[in-house]
Structure 1
Amino acid sequence: MAEENNSINSMEQALDSFNQVQIGDVVTAEVLSIEDSQLIVGIDNSGVEGVVPLRELTSDRKADIHKLAQVGDKLELLVVRHSASDKEDGSFILSQRRIANRKAYGKMAELMSADTVVKGEVVGTVRSGLLVEVDGLRGFVPASMISDHFVRDFKSFVGQILDLKIIEVEPTKNRFVLSHKEIAAQERAQKESEIMANILPGDIIDAKVSRLTNFGAFVDLGGMDGLVHVSQISYDHVDRPADILKVGQDVKVKILDVDKDRGRVSLSIKAAQPGPWETIGEKFAAGDQIDGVVKRLTDFGAFVEVMPGIEGLVHVSQISWNHVDNPADVLKVGEKVHLKVLNVDPEQKRLGLSIKELTENPHSKAKEAKKDEQELDNYELPDEERGFALGDIVDEDSNN
């Protein structure tokens, strides 16, 4: 009878101990054994055993559980829930990782209140932003808070260490939201100030294409963007910048203008390359025959493009052998013409051209014909060709 009472008392004590352990409690437990993917622990002062799965020890699913704990270790654990199956050897499922997270959330809440900047490593991406790890706590940076300008490629951030502002900390919802936008804006402003102070019109520097639009290309000067207008991309005509350039492409640019008040820099890619006038002497010489397209008409002649960036002048006197009052009466913009090079002056950027020199002069034929006619009218046969001489007539009269 006494033994039966002792057994009942032991069961009641065990049940009381079990009832003393509640979901959400933070308890101290001893590691009793280690299996491949979980720890078996005994909760102190309760006589109750529990299980700590590997996923509740660390967020690293590839970690070696034998390196994370040893038999006899004392661990501070959170009681997560009752065990749900026979595979979970113990009365409760416990977690060490959630204890660490709870402490981390508390620390982050304090840092957010103090408006403290934290450092986080970008460990992955999702469709809507970046996944970051801050002091072992997983956080999220929404796409709109990654930078102060639109970001298309999230993957380029993976592995980077970013300075971040804490926006929201909500442990019960497992929400930890951060932002890099404000930091990025501050960093950009500082870099812009440094760049603007160190560049001058005429400088040629290395840059990288960052964005393309219909009207030009924005290039990164090392912390700020400058604009290359579509007209400054190439000496050739460019309809769409995307036909010539690609995002990420390295380019050399010449500084055209620096507007410090508005924070704008105007750039040119073509001006950083050798100009066509610098090598024109190797391509054209006086007497050459070339083709061109009429680009502009003026009172004194026509400007004809003979290659990208090179226009020569056909003076009104060199358009036709006939008198031309207005070049527009003879030529049209866009018309293709065959030309003779009269002179080349690279230093003055002048190219003299002629259309009429490659056509026959109708006036020279007319002059030759008229001259022939005049010579025929004035022509007199020599005396010997008439069959007698004046002397013969005089002598004949004398004899009579």
Structure 2
Amino acid sequence: MENQTMGELLNQYGTTERLYSGDVVEGTVISSNSDEVMVNINYMADGILPKAEIPDGNPIDFKEGQKIKVYILKLDDGDGNVLLSLKKAFEIIVWDEFQKLFDGQITFNIKVKEAVKGGVVGLYKGASVFIPASQLALSYIEDLSSYIGMTLEVELSEYQMATKKVVASHKNVLKRQLAAQKSDQLSRINVDDQLTGTVVRLADYGAFVDLGAIDGLIHVSQMSWRRVKNPSEILNVGDVVDVIVLKVEREKEKVSLKLAQVQENPWETISTRYAVGDVVKGKVTRLMNFGAFVEVEEGVEGLVHISELSENHVTRPNEVVQVGDEIEVMVLELDVDNHRMSLSLKAVTGMDLEDYESLMPEEDSAPATLSDLFGDKLKNLKF
């Protein structure tokens, strides 16, 4: 080997070109430890990349066989090895990369180094990249320091090589990802599907449910068989609910839902509990100019028309009853299809007290009918 020329040595190690300090060459990682990375640069001596010349200062991140571009600091570090720098290589090649990334709107990953006024700063191959706070996420971020150490996928929104100004956006990447997820989920949702979601927002007209990539709306009319004035009567933010898909508008990205478990509508079985002539107990819930509404069970209200409040002339319902009064009334008419019940107070108050008490059903028996209470007197009763 002592008689070999430099050219013969270079040929032996696979290259015919000389290397000089200041060159940027591609090499292959041979090994790494906590202090340095050894790199094969196709030269008669291997290259040493010390920890101090690595931007993130972590040699063990480099794996055997990995290709990297390095800058030659010295051809001989005193121990017969070529001294390399990744920092210097990045300083030379990164700006050309930034131009390509900017022109092609290509996304890339950066590691957040620090939080600064108005945003965070990340590193890409040793170069600083600024991400404004408004471009970090889809919603407002309270604590920017929570992003330190995170690796984010970004795209360049501004790049000026002359001033080394590099500004990126993570928000734009998230928007595209969300749009793709929405499109995918919308393509798979169909009418009558049963899904599980979380209530994320309440509005006067309904509740928004997070289904994953998209929110669906439960209109107030689809929350219960009874009239719901405000969604908060049924749901709370954070509730996990089972829902059924009523309608999918893919172009508008809208999904209409209803609660999967809605309590049985009492009007559907009301005929098994009430009949014309029954005397029932109820509570006055509302007073109108034309009469009083009486709730005979949860969700079932009947109307006592003003003419049925008393045998005497009544100008206003509050002359006879008040909201909250518990009274006994007689069923005059039952309209199951339209959810209407007509009641009479005067038919009950006009009865003979002794006859009424004797004919009232026991606590566990069926409600008294009109014929039970009046018998032949029914023929003479005027409504």
TM-score, normalization by structure 2: 0.52
1:283-302 equivalence runs, <5 A? 284-286=273-275, 287=278, 289-299=280-290, 301-302=291-292
Task: Write the distance in 1 (CA, Å) between the matches of 2:183 and 2:40.
Answer: 60
| Structure 1 residue 244, shift from structure 2 partner | 2.4
Distance 1:303-1:55 versus aligned 2 partners, 3 A rule: farther
Distance 1:75-1:119 versus aligned 2 partners, 3 A rule: closer
Task: Find the counterpart in structure 2 of residue 241 from structure 1.
Answer: 232
Distance 1:44-1:121 versus aligned 2 partners, 3 A rule: closer
One-letter amino acid of the counterpart of residue 70, structure 2: E
1:224-373 equivalence runs, <5 A? 224-228=214-218, 233-234=223-224, 235=226, 241=232, 244-247=235-238, 249-252=240-243, 255=246, 263=252, 267=256, 269=258, 273-274=262-263, 276-277=265-266, 279-281=268-270, 284-286=273-275, 287=278, 289-299=280-290, 301-306=291-296, 309-332=299-322, 334-340=323-329, 342=331, 344-356=334-346, 359=349, 361=351
Task: Find the counterpart in structure 1 of residue 36 from structure 2.
Answer: 38
| Structure 1 residue 184, shift from structure 2 partner | 2.4
Does the 8 Å contact 1:344/1:352 carry over to 2?
A: yes
Does the 8 Å contact 1:209/1:217 carry over to 2?
A: no
Task: Write the distance in 2 (CA, Å) between the matches of 1:168 and 1:273.
Answer: 53
One-letter amino acid of the counterpart of residue 144, structure 1: S
Task: Write the distance in 1 (CA, Å) between the matches of 2:184 and 2:39.
Answer: 59
- Aligned equivalent of 1:184, options 175, 178, 198: 175
Does the 8 Å contact 1:207/1:222 carry over to 2?
A: no
Does the 8 Å contact 1:306/1:312 carry over to 2?
A: yes
Task: Write the distance in 2 (CA, Å) between the matches of 1:264 and 1:33.
Answer: 52
1:92-171 equivalence runs, <5 A? 95-96=85-86, 99=89, 103=93, 106-116=96-106, 118=107, 144-145=134-135, 150=139, 165-168=155-158
Task: Find the counterpart in structure 2 of residue 76 from structure 1.
Answer: 70
Q: Deviations over 1:40-59 (max 9, x none)?
A: 899999x9x976118828x5
One-letter amino acid of the counterpart of residue 324, structure 2: E
| Structure 1 residue 227, shift from structure 2 partner | 4.4
Task: Write the distance in 1 (CA, Å) between the matches of 2:87 and 2:129.
Answer: 15
| Structure 1 residue 257, shift from structure 2 partner | 11
| Structure 1 residue 95, shift from structure 2 partner | 3.7
One-letter amino acid of the counterpart of residue 316, structure 1: I
Distance 1:344-1:36 versus aligned 2 partners, 3 A rule: same
Distance 1:344-1:150 versus aligned 2 partners, 3 A rule: farther
Distance 1:248-1:115 versus aligned 2 partners, 3 A rule: farther
| Structure 1 residue 110, shift from structure 2 partner | 0.7
| Structure 1 residue 303, shift from structure 2 partner | 2.5
Task: Write the distance in 2 (CA, Å) between the matches of 1:122 and 1:296.
Answer: 67
One-letter amino acid of the counterpart of residue 54, structure 2: E
Does the 8 Å contact 1:284/1:341 carry over to 2?
A: no
Q: Deviations over 1:73-128 (max 9, x none)?
A: 99724659xx9xxxxx9999854377468646533431321334x37699999898
Task: Write the distance in 1 (CA, Å) between the matches of 2:279 and 2:193.
Answer: 35
**Secondary structure in 2 aligned to 1:320?**
coil
Does the 8 Å contact 1:230/1:240 carry over to 2?
A: yes
**Secondary structure in 2 aligned to 1:112?**
helix
Identity of aligned residues (%): 23
Q: Deviations over 1:215-257 (max 9, x none)?
A: 3433346655454456765547566739822347344256589
TM-score, normalization by structure 1: 0.51
**Secondary structure in 2 aligned to 1:285?**
coil
- How many matched pairs? 318
Task: Write the distance in 2 (CA, Å) between the matches of 1:63 and 1:137.
Answer: 21
Greater per-residue helix proportion: 1
Q: Deviations over 1:9-31 (max 9, x none)?
A: xxxxxxxxxxx968xx7478999
Task: Write the distance in 1 (CA, Å) between the matches of 2:111 and 2:348.
Answer: 70
Higher Rg of the two aligned structures: 1
Task: Write the distance in 2 (CA, Å) between the matches of 1:55 and 1:335.
Answer: 83
One-letter amino acid of the counterpart of residue 76, structure 1: V
Structure 1 unmatched ranges of 5 or more: 1-19, 84-88, 366-400
Q: Deviations over 1:350-385 (max 9, x none)?
A: 2343444554647999xxxxxxxxxxxxxxxxxxxx
**Secondary structure in 1 aligned to 2:274?**
coil
Does the 8 Å contact 2:53/2:84 carry over to 1?
A: no
Does the 8 Å contact 1:79/1:95 carry over to 2?
A: yes
User: Is the counterpart of residue 208 in structure 1 residue 197 in structure 2?
Assistant: yes
Cα root mean square deviation, aligned: 6.4
Structure 2 unmatched ranges of 5 or more: 1-19, 356-383
Task: Write the distance in 1 (CA, Å) between the matches of 2:99 and 2:24.
Answer: 20
Task: Find the counterpart in structure 2 of residue 219 from structure 1.
Answer: 209
User: Is the counterpart of residue 56 in structure 1 residue 73 in structure 2?
Assistant: no
